[in-house]
């Protein structure tokens, strides 16, 4: 998991640097008469849009049901481990050294199974989420492109991914993205 977080951090940092470089180089490409005032910039909050468009709500509902089913399996396995642990604790005085060793090995095996199951379910859910949102984000990019073209935006940023610290509300195109996405 540490690798995933560091990879996410690295990719996020890299994307921010690329964005900053792109903005900087875009500024260099303008003629001397053009200024930053001529640059029309907007932003969207893709995560908010994802949670508010109908297709996103449906995907979230399916993912939640899948998560709950998998959580129930995981809970059942956890109960087995807990029961075995309690048995070992309660019977430790009455068991022979060989029987204790066997129970401990059984407990360790069940704990390893539980950990593998957790990792597998986590990976599976992440893959399903990525698959479910990939198409939605692809369609959103097309809608954002249409909005930008129609309204003359030179640059549209993703609020969270580009680390927008401040922007006027008038620059937020998220509501329009949601409205247009659902109408298409």
Q: Kindly give the confidence (pLDDT) of every residue in the chain, 184 residues in length, as a single tens digit, with 9 standing for 90 and above.
A: 444 444 444 445 445 544 444 444 444 444 444 456 789 999 999 999 999 999 999 999 999 999 999 999 999 999 999 998 998 888 888 888 898 889 899 999 999 999 999 999 999 999 999 999 999 999 999 999 999 999 999 999 998 877 778 888 999 999 999 999 999 8
Structure tokens at 95: 């068991």
Distance from CA of residue 170 to its chain's centroid?
A: 27
Burial letters 73-112, b for 16+ CB under 10 A, else e: eeeebeeebeebeeebeeeeeeeeeeeeeebeeeeeebee
Domain boundaries, the chain: 1-38, 40-183
Where helices occur in the chain by DSSP H, the ranges are 2-29, 46-52, 54-91, 97-151, 174-183
Structure tokens at 27: 């500024």
Question: How much is the pLDDT for 14?
Answer: 45
Calculate Rg over the CA atoms of the chain: 26
Question: How much is the pLDDT for 36?
Answer: 60
CB 33 within 8 A of CB 24: no
Question: How much is the pLDDT for 92?
Answer: 82
Question: How much is the pLDDT for 99?
Answer: 87
CA separation for the pair 17, 79 (Å, rounded) = 47
Query: Whole-prediction pTM value?
Result: 0.63
CATH of segment(s) 40-183: 3.30.910.20
Select from 65, 60, 71 the least CA-distant residue to 121. Answer: 71
Question: How much is the pLDDT for 35?
Answer: 58
């Amino acid at each position: 998991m540490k690798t995933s977080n560091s990879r996410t951090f690295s990719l996020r940092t890299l994307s921010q640097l690329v964005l900053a470089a792109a903005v900087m180089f875009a500024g260099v490409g303008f003629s001397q008469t053009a200024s930053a005032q001529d640059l029309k910039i907007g932003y969207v909050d893709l995560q908010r849009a994802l949670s508010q468009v109908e297709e996103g709500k449906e995907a979230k509902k399916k993912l939640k049901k899948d998560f709950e089913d998998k959580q129930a399996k995981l809970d059942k396995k956890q109960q087995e481990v807990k029961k075995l642990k309690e048995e070992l604790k309660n019977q430790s005085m009455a068991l022979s050294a060989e029987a204790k060793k066997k129970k401990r090995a059984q407990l360790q095996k069940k704990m390893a199974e539980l950990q593998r199951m957790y990792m597998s379910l986590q990976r599976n859910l992440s893959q399903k989420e990525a698959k479910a949102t990939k198409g939605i984000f692809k369609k959103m990019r097309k809608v954002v492109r249409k909005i930008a073209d129609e309204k003359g935006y030179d640059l549209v940023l993703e609020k969270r991914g580009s680390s927008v610290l401040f922007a006027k509300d008038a620059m937020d195109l998220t509501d329009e993205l949601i409205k247009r996405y659902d109408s298409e």
